[in-house]
């Protein structure tokens, strides 16, 4: 494992510090060859040097590293967020990381706001298209400042973009023995994009006869996830809808601090993707040591799994569950523990779990 780590802005440095501690400890316990190289990119670096992220990294890193571990970007000192756009959107688009995979898994029942929910009821994965839709920054404003002002945002969906994310969802579902894949759009209003998504979904689904394809409009999907999350295994949708949907799904896990993600493409160099907690830079709590590092730590579990270290990945996930069960929680989860204390509790639990299982 060769990891490039970017701590970024706000709470990014705090949570990535704990994630790297967990990764190094787990690698040592499980005898995994792992190197982490840290890079300074973020608002401080941008404001002092004028450099967001060197362009050559976008081509070189997928060849030099097997993963990128990323904290968060966003800083009030950069009002237009130019550095954030260049760094995170740059990695997604210029590294062609078209598939954003977000596991939605509940580690402890009392973290979920839904009544009567068990951990086993919330275990599904959302695939969000990661390079198209409204995120291409196409559009503009006419007659700004007048009573006739018009603002336009163009949402672009290509056949290539839709097919590869739909196929990624089906491949994932088939590899894990799932029974169904749900595709969601707003085809009753967005007819052109909806028609493309519907046709591609049917065509790809025909190649996977063991999987049952199902369609839900995006508003109905949100309602169904809240009513009965246990019915879902794999969901695939567009960039914008996926962004909104997965933020809601994070609340089922206990909040944004619990949500992990990986963005990946069709790399053949051993590069497994960009691993990122989805909570953002949260500048209002930065530097107070109260940020929840579990989303970043769960990114480590996801990273280990995608590198083939399934036992090590399982130990990290189990340790997160154990630390939450033991009440070592940050304030967003109803506890009083610091960011560092949560990281230490997870590390202690990994050590205990591995010894109990007779490994390490």
Confidence band (pLDDT; 50, 70, 90) for 267? confident
pLDDT digit string, tens, across residues 225-241: 999 999 999 999 999 99
pLDDT digit string, tens, across residues 9-26: 999 999 999 999 999 999
For residue 145, give Cα distances in angstroms to 150, 152, 154, 283.
10, 15, 21, 31
Looking at residues 110-124, what average pLDDT do you find?
A: 95
Q: What is the secondary structure of 269-318 as a DSSP string? A: SS---EE--SS---TTTTTTT----HHHHHHHHHHHHHTT-HHHHHHHHH
Confidence band (pLDDT; 50, 70, 90) for 359? low
The pair of structure tokens assigned to 45 is 């670096």
Look-up of token digits 């691993």: 275
Where b means 16+ CB within 10 Å and e means fewer, 308-345 reads: ebeebbebbbbbbbbbbeeebbbebbebebbbebbbbb
- Reference 277, options 1, 79, 20; nearest CA is 20
Q: What is the largest CA-CA distance in the chain?
A: 72
- Reference 339, options 55, 107, 40, 21; nearest CA is 21
Sign of the dihedral through C-alpha 199, 94, 294, 134: negative
- Reference 135, options 169, 166, 98, 160; nearest CA is 98
The pair of structure tokens assigned to 42 is 């973020």
pLDDT digit string, tens, across residues 142-160: 999 999 999 999 999 999 9
pTM for the full model?
A: 0.94
CB 241 within 8 A of CB 184: yes
CB 314 within 8 A of CB 42: no
The pair of structure tokens assigned to 95 is 């590294």
Is the pLDDT assigned to residue 339 strictly greater than 60?
yes
The pair of structure tokens assigned to 54 is 């060197």
Look at residue 136 in the predicted model and tell me its pLDDT: 85
Residue 74 vs residue 136, higher pLDDT: 74
Task: Tell me the domains of the chain and their CATH numbers.
Answer: 1-112+255-360 (3.40.718.10), 114-253 (3.40.718.10)
By DSSP bridging, strand 180-185 and strand 234-237 are parallel
Look at residue 81 in the predicted model and tell me its pLDDT: 86
Is the pLDDT assigned to residue 51 strictly greater than 80?
yes
Look at residue 80 in the predicted model and tell me its pLDDT: 86
Look-up of token digits 């610091």: 338
CA 75 to chain centre: 20
């Amino acid at each position: 494992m060769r990891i490039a780590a970017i701590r970024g802005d706000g709470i990014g440095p705090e949570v990535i510090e704990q994630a790297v501690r967990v990764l190094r400890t787990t690698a040592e316990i499980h005898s995994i060859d792992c190197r982490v190289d840290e890079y300074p990119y973020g608002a401080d670096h941008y404001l002092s040097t004028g450099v967001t992220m060197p362009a050559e990294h976008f081509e070189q890193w997928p060849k030099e590293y097997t993963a990128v571990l990323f904290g968060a970007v966003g800083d009030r000192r950069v009002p237009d967020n130019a550095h954030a756009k260049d760094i995170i959107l740059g990695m997604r688009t210029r590294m062609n990381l078209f598939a954003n995979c977000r596991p939605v898994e509940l580690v402890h029942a009392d973290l979920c706001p839904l009544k009567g929910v068990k951990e086993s009821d919330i275990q599904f994965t959302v695939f969000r298209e990661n390079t198209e839709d409204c995120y291409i920054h196409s559009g503009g404003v006419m007659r700004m400042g007048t009573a006739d002002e018009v603002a336009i945002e163009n949402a672009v969906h290509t056949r290539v973009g839709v097919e590869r994310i739909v196929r990624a969802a089906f491949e994932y579902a088939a590899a894990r023995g799932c029974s169904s894949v749900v595709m969601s759009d707003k085809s009753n209003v967005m007819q052109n994009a909806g028609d493309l998504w519907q046709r591609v979904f049917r065509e790809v689904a025909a190649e996977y006869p063991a999987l049952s394809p199902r369609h839900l409009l995006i508003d109905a999907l949100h309602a169904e996830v809240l009513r009965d999350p246990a019915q879902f295994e794999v969901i695939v949708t567009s960039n914008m809808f996926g962004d909104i949907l997965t933020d809601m799904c994070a609340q089922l896990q206990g909040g944004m601090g619990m949500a992990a993600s990986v963005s990946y493409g069709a790399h053949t160099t051993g590069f497994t993707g960009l691993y990122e907690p989805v909570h953002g830079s949260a500048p209002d709590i930065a530097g107070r040591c109260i940020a929840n590092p579990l989303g970043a730590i769960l990114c480590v579990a996801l990273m280990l799994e995608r590198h083939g270290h399934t036992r090590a990945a399982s130990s990290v996930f189990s340790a997160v569950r154990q630390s939450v069960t033991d009440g070592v929680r940050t304030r967003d989860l109803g506890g009083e523990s610091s960011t560092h204390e949560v990281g230490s509790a997870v590390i202690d639990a990994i050590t205990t779990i591995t010894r109990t299982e007779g490994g390490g």
